[in-house]
Amino acid sequence: MQVEDSSAAGQTDYEGTTYYFCSTGCQDKFEESPEDYTSQ
């Protein structure tokens, strides 16, 4: 899913990249285990 930074419900930085989220729930899940959602 792509989320425009101007309409994002949240954002977080992980390993030098900023990720934007459609909801704070999605952001929370990402922050718990970002390696599950990235290929870095």
Query: For residues 37 and 30, what is the distance between their CA atoms, to the nearest angstrom?
Result: 7
User: Can you give the pLDDT at residue 26?
Assistant: 95
Span 1-11, pLDDT tens digits: 889 989 999 99
Entry pTM: 0.83
Span 16-37, pLDDT tens digits: 999 999 999 999 999 999 999 9
* DSSP E strand stretches across 1-40: 10-14, 17-21
Is 25 within 8 Å of 6 (Cβ atoms)?
Answer: no
Band (40; pLDDT cuts 50, 70, 90): low
Band (39; pLDDT cuts 50, 70, 90): confident
In which element (H, E) is residue 25 found?
A: helix 24-32
* Phi, psi at 9, each rounded to 5°: -80, -15
